[in-house]
Structure 1
């Protein structure tokens, strides 16, 4: 699936819920299904700067696609990174770099996060894209 198709799928999934408590619960469930980072990768250099909670993000290039794994010490944050990994993992670096993130507004995520969590969300997206830029340079 393309990034756009995955984003559309998430928009559809979140639109099934009437209120934000249900959406938070769904996000928490997504966080529980997150492909977990290898404990050896939970190092200081893998922490995303700008997040209130601790979020570790690991990436590797497999078959010219970026594969992400992550973990967080907070359940909501874990749900947020799970959504981002679902969208961006197993995609070519160029697709990640060029992807828009309008789906975040479409599912109403940004408006229902505290300012510190919203800043963390921006930091997570920035880090995902930075990894993609590094891998794109390797592929050239």
Structure 2
């Protein structure tokens, strides 16, 4: 399974510069397509509770750098999650210390356009990312 989807096309600045929610939504869906299907990730212990559609998240640490793999049936959820993954993948624990994923998303203003269930799902993904980061830093 690959933990290294190429998310280099994702730009939070481009998302902020979009003039309308429709433009942002198109970008999010496009970026969701950058996350490749990962059938081997779709196992019970990787599923994230709290998401309306099934979402699976895996985590590995290679050479002290964190990598997350995600799969979901929804392009929108994958696109929203890609906004998170682009901020954490390939970074060390020290680079990630103090990162406020919720704050970054609030800064984009997406929550006012998302349904409560999508906001809850996004928060559940964020919580699982933090759980993995905390668990991996244990001695």
- Under a length normalisation based on structure 2, what TM-score does the superposition of the two structures give? 0.85
> Which residue of the partner structure matches residue 3 of structure 1?
none
> Which residue of the partner structure matches residue 46 of structure 2?
46
- Under a length normalisation based on structure 1, what TM-score does the superposition of the two structures give? 0.84
Q: CA 1:71–1:123 in 2, change beyond 3 Å: closer, same or farther?
A: same
Say if 2:18 is the partner of 1:17.
Answer: yes
> Which residue of the partner structure matches residue 4 of structure 2?
none
Say if 2:49 is the partner of 1:27.
Answer: no
Q: Shift in Å at residue 103 of structure 1?
A: 1.7
> Which residue of the partner structure matches residue 83 of structure 2?
83
> Which residue of the partner structure matches residue 114 of structure 1?
115
Work out whether residues 41 and 71 of structure 2, in 8 Å CA contact, stay in contact via their aligned partners in 1.
no
- Give CA deviations for 1:32-76 in whole Å, capped at 9, x if unaligned: 112x36422210111111000111111101011110111111111
Gaps of 5+ in 1: 1-5
Q: Shift in Å at residue 94 of structure 1?
A: 4.3
Which has the larger share of helix? 1
Gaps of 5+ in 2: 1-7
Work out whether residues 105 and 111 of structure 1, in 8 Å CA contact, stay in contact via their aligned partners in 2.
no
Paired residue total: 129
